[in-house]
Structure 1
Amino acid sequence: MSMEIGILTFGEMTRDPSTGRMPSPRQRLLDTLEQARLADEVGLDVFGVGEHHRGDFIASATPVILSAIAAVTTRIRLASTVTVLSSDDPVRIWEQYATIDQISGGRAEIMAGRGSYTESFPLFGYSLHDYDALFAEKLDLLLRIRDGNPVTWSGRFRAPLTDADIAPHALQRRLPIWQAVGGTVASAIGAGRRGLPLMIAFLAGPIDAQRGLVDSYHAAASRAGVNPRSLRIGASVHGFVASHMRHARDVMYPHFVAGMSQNNHRRDEPFPLPREAFDLQAGPRGMIVAGGPQEVVDKIMTYRRLYGIDRIMLQMGFGGVPQKEHLKAIELLGTRVAPEIRRLTKDDAAPSAPPSSASDAPPDQAWCHRAERPSQVTNRSSKEER
């Protein structure tokens, strides 16, 4: 199938690194709606909104934002990127996203993750000691609700259900539920065992660093009797598109650093990323996708060759990129990048290739703050299962 191209936002509110100005929550929400409308108009395939429960984000109620986007768009698919399933109620999640599916005419998707930003656990009365068990139980219940109704079920973390009639039904026959992962192989194995599509979050490092995760995903699917070729794989990456490479990186770099400092797990902690390291990450063998249209096409095709992905979502405005620049990037992604990617992948089965041994990434990856389980270190920087 041809690749799908989309964008996502966490709804972070970041002080401008040049002026120090902070957007209001209302302006940030209005900007997000404008970005989604334009993404729909220029033909992008999917728009995602992440979930965070802190004052420096406006997306604590992701389904409400996606419903507003559904009302001002006509074609683009609408996804949570991601739903922090471990600290929410699967019944309520289903009700919300099935409603979005009805409003949007069948365009809703759920991307379920464990959560690496852990503020929602104490906020809603959950313990990080139950981190794994919460996710496993709640994902199984969410899938039960999707695949059969009424539902009879019992578990550890919510009241049992007996012939529960959970409404509304989704408009789609089978509302897509993805499992979102960062660097945890066990999570990918769980997704493969369940036969779920996999969305991988890439932050920084060598572009081929997650090959083992995909191999484990495919192996788990095979052991469970699921044909790996039937499973979808997507990539979530930081990126930016401009008319030429230098401008894209000049715009993205200061905002990326500002966002990683102000809006990461440890708020307002300096994020020492030299420009040289950023440029290496935006180069051919780093994870960041930033450049002119052709550089972005080339990088996306590298992801496809390495991982067999059929969807990529760019987080382009991270760190408060000015709206004018952000909208121009969306326009270029939709009019210059996406058509070329679709042309190149129209008849391509997207086979996974063996990992490359070469890398342009800096040998010292300490600045990436590689993802760790929140049960081990709760405030380290990562995008793990967001």
Structure 2
Amino acid sequence: MSAQFEFGLNSFGDVATDGGREMTDAESVRLLIEEAQLAESVGLDVFSVGEHYKDKSVDSATPVVLAAAAQATSTIGLGTSVTVLSTQDPVRLYQEFATVDALSNGRTQLVLGRASAVESFPLFGYDIAQYEELFEEKLDLFLRLMYEDRVTWSGKHRASLDAVRLHPRMPDGGIPAWIGIGGSPDSVIRAARNGLPLMMAIIGGRAERFAGHAELYLRALSSFGYPEMPIAQHSLGLIADTDDAAKSAHWEYWEPVVTQISKERGFYPPTAERYAEEVDTGALYVGSPETVARKIAAIARANHLSRFDLKYDITHLPRDVRERSIRLFGEQVAPRVRELLEEDAEPWRETGRPVVEIVKGGKAVHV
């Protein structure tokens, strides 16, 4: 399993600081490209950018950012932390990501979600009351566009299509597309029903509580006649040379962001005690390389993971702290996690049974 376990970086385009100065939006966009290059240089597998429409985030035009990253890198996968499919036009989305895939020579992927932040609904004129209906209809159309050569389609929320063939073309079968979930069993079943890999966004509480979702997904895949597919986890964190340095740096910038979100969404503001609990036993992956590696390895076992994505940026987190975290994640955490998972795999090797079955490019392979 260790050789195939993947590591990704997720950015929400958070504006950074540099020497105490808030970077401009333009500088923050260019920083994303530099960080994609850095992620590739330290051996990470995927660099992903989100989609947000709020102050201090610069990821509203994700395909443009990924197209630039495609030209600045050569091997790393390029994806979305989540694409808010509910407020996207599937035709345009297909064309944008077919273009990015061409520019990257086949390195592009997507995580499709319904949105936890809903700023895009009023911005683009959609009714939040149609949250579920929009996603279902647009997912159906997008998958048909990826899987079929010519598409005839009609629905409620966009113009009908009559034998449409889009250009530029994606490869046969489209590009890898994951379903992102935040905890809804219905979303788990949707991913399995459509035969798509599962990305679990776990940003608070004990991450092990999602083990039931992973097991439900695997059972549902089997019931729908699909082979096992990858399960990934997206979580927040920061890596520094010591546990204390990581926690101190992360808390300083995490606390004001979560305090603001708590006011907007009506939950309890963060406290130092709750933060320490999240770091120790919850879904924050903050600490030294060894601490974070052991925590990732443990959750990989519990949640049946074949990939872990670290959301590494926070509003105003200094660029040098971001850089150090990326370096440590690729150079020390990833190989250490693989080493820990390799130890788990040894008893299986003795039996001659396959260690794991994962899906690469839509095909199941034994490792």
Alignment deviations for residues 340-377 of structure 1 (CA, whole Å, 9 cap, x no partner)? 223444584469xxxxxxxxxxxxxxxxxxxxxxxxxx
Choose the corresponding residue for 1:260, options 258, 261, 264: 258
Choose the corresponding residue for 1:293, options 289, 293, 313: 289
Structure-2 change in CA distance of 1:309 and 1:160 (3 Å): same
Q: Does 1:322 align with 2:318?
A: yes
Alignment deviations for residues 218-264 of structure 1 (CA, whole Å, 9 cap, x no partner)? 2322221223xx211000000111111111111111111122235x4
CA RMSD in angstroms, aligned pairs only = 2.3
Structure-2 change in CA distance of 1:15 and 1:169 (3 Å): same
Q: Which amino acid aligns with 1:319?
A: T
Deviation at 1:171, TM superposition (A): 4.5
Structure-2 change in CA distance of 1:112 and 1:266 (3 Å): farther
Tell whether the 8 Å contact from 2:258 to 2:270 is kept in structure 1 after alignment. no
Tell whether the 8 Å contact from 1:261 to 1:269 is kept in structure 2 after alignment. no
Partner of 1:311: 307
Partner of 2:327: 331
Partner of 1:155: 155
Tell whether the 8 Å contact from 1:14 to 1:258 is kept in structure 2 after alignment. no
Give ranges in structure 1 of 5+ residues lacking alignment. 352-386
Q: Which amino acid aligns with 1:158?
A: R
Alignment deviations for residues 101-128 of structure 1 (CA, whole Å, 9 cap, x no partner)? 1101111001100011111112112111
Choose the corresponding residue for 1:3, options 5, 18, 24: 5
Partner of 2:127: 127
Deviation at 1:77, TM superposition (A): 0.5
Q: Does 1:43 align with 2:50?
A: no
Structure-2 change in CA distance of 1:265 and 1:57 (3 Å): farther
Provide TM-score, normalisation by structure 1. 0.84
Tell whether the 8 Å contact from 1:11 to 1:59 is kept in structure 2 after alignment. yes
SS at match of 1:298: helix
Tell whether the 8 Å contact from 2:134 to 2:157 is kept in structure 1 after alignment. yes
Provide TM-score, normalisation by structure 2. 0.88
Tell whether the 8 Å contact from 2:56 to 2:315 is kept in structure 1 after alignment. no
Deviation at 1:271, TM superposition (A): 7.0
| Correspondences of 1:200-211 after superposition (within 5 Å) | 200-211=200-211
Moved more, 97-106 or 334-343: 334-343
Number of residue-to-residue matches in the alignment: 345
Tell whether the 8 Å contact from 1:257 to 1:319 is kept in structure 2 after alignment. no
Tell whether the 8 Å contact from 2:235 to 2:309 is kept in structure 1 after alignment. yes
| Correspondences of 1:214-233 after superposition (within 5 Å) | 214-227=214-227, 230-233=228-231
Partner of 1:241: 239
Partner of 1:87: 87
Deviation at 1:311, TM superposition (A): 0.7
Partner of 2:352: none
Q: Which amino acid aligns with 1:300?
A: I
| Correspondences of 1:62-101 after superposition (within 5 Å) | 62-101=62-101
Q: Which amino acid aligns with 1:129?
A: A
Deviation at 1:166, TM superposition (A): 0.8
